[in-house]
């Protein structure tokens, strides 16, 4: 089997590595519109060959590991594929992508969201085993042809992933609270601290919680602007919910209602039971 990976950054590069390492493809070809990234990926041995975009259409399975706005554009350029070619996307949003997929290729397009990553990006960020023991959310699979779904599922399972099925609309709603909101908060916290504090104090006191809470703020802005764009309304709603919680805490602290503040914190610690 020949696999093609479009986007040779953290997600695509790591996937290419694992496809080869686990003998899941005889050949892994890659494309990246950023020529420097393409050459880096080749030099790092992430892919066997870098090819022009048209050439990826010759693969048996094409993975789109690019920003979510790019996925929508690229799907429009993949309508003239053989109907045996499977397409898989790795976007962090799902509803707009699924809805934008041209009808002609909808049965062969598998909408996936692998729940993995690091705060780093680009080909040099690619690592082996990024997908192992992680969850992969597959959306609206009832719109897939079973042969294409199975081809994608087999690869994910062989990479060590646990499959979960979800409605695309539901996925985006949950992802707003559980993933996109935490990113928005982390960027806002990083900016608050960078504006108020000198680098020396940040270095000294970072272990007091800031290090964890600001890690996501190192995420690639181009990628995350696209995600926020595609999940705009859900994200705005989740920010409102969060602002209400923070306002409540602020009021309790301001009015020195310590017993109520403690109860509010105790509610949060029930998270222990889940994670």
Under rule CB under 8 A, which residues in 13-32 are in contact with its own copies?
A: none
Residues near its own copies (CB under 8 A), total: 92
Residue 176 gets the label, from left (phi > 0), alpha (psi -120 to 50) or beta, of: alpha
- 99 interacts with its own copies by CB under 8 A: no
Q: Is the Cβ of residue 61 or residue 137 nearer to its own copies in the bound state?
A: 137
Q: Choose the binding region for its own copies from 3-11, 45-53, 97-105, 193-201 (rule: CB under 8 A).
A: 193-201
Q: Choose the binding region for its own copies from 27-35, 54-62, 76-84, 198-206 (rule: CB under 8 A).
A: 198-206
Strand blocks (E) in 140-229:
162-166
Q: Is 140 exposed, middle or buried (0-12, 13-18, 19+ CB in 10 A)?
A: buried
What DSSP state is assigned to residue 180?
A: I
For the segment 114-133, give every residue that binds its own copies (CB under 8 A): 115-117
For residue 195, the number of C-alpha atoms closer than 13 Å in the C-beta half-sphere is 6
- 157 interacts with its own copies by CB under 8 A: no
CB of 38 to its own copies, least distance (A): 23
- 1 interacts with its own copies by CB under 8 A: no
For the segment 221-250, give every residue that binds its own copies (CB under 8 A): 221-222, 224-225, 228-229, 232, 235-236, 238-250
Q: Which of 104, 127, 157, 178 binds its own copies (CB under 8 A)?
A: 178
Backbone φ and ψ for 243, nearest 5 degrees, come out as -60, -35
Bridge partners of residue 139, in order along the sequence: 111, 166
- 177 interacts with its own copies by CB under 8 A: yes
For the segment 33-72, give every residue that binds its own copies (CB under 8 A): none
- 104 interacts with its own copies by CB under 8 A: no
Q: Is the Cβ of residue 48 or residue 197 nearer to its own copies in the bound state?
A: 197
How far apart CA 46 and CA 20 sit, in angstroms, is: 9
Q: How far is CA 49 from CA 16, 30, 45, 58, 261, in A?
A: 11, 6, 9, 13, 58
């Amino acid at each position: 089997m020949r696999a093609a990976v479009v986007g040779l950054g953290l997600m695509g590069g790591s996937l290419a590595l694992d496809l080869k390492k686990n003998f899941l493809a005889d050949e892994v070809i890659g494309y990246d519109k950023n020529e420097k990234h393409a050459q880096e990926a080749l030099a790092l041995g992430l892919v066997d060959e870098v090819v022009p975009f048209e050439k990826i259409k010759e693969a048996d399975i094409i993975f789109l590991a690019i920003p979510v706005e790019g996925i929508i554009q690229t799907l429009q350029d993949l309508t003239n594929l053989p109907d045996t070619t499977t397409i898989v996307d790795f976007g962090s949003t799902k509803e707009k992508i699924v809805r934008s997929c041209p009808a002609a290729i909808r049965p062969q397009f598998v909408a996936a969201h692998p729940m993995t990553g690091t705060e780093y990006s680009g080909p040099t960020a690619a690592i082996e085993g990024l997908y192992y023991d992680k969850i992969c959310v597959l959306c609206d699979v009832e719109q897939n042809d079973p042969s294409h779904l199975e081809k994608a599922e087999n690869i994910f399972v062989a990479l060590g992933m646990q499959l979960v099925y979800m409605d695309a609309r539901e996925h985006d709603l949950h992802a707003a609270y559980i993933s996109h909101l935490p990113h928005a908060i982390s960027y806002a916290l990083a900016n608050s601290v960078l504006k108020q504090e000198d680098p020396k104090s940040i270095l000294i006191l970072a272990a007091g919680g800031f290090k964890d809470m600001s890690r996501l703020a190192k995420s690639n802005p181009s990628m995350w602007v696209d995600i926020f764009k595609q999940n705009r309304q859900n994200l705005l709603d989740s920010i409102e919910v969060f602002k209400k919680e923070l306002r409540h805490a602020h009021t309790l602290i301001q009015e020195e209602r310590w017993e109520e503040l403690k109860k509010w914190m105790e509610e949060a610690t029930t998270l222990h039971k889940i994670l």
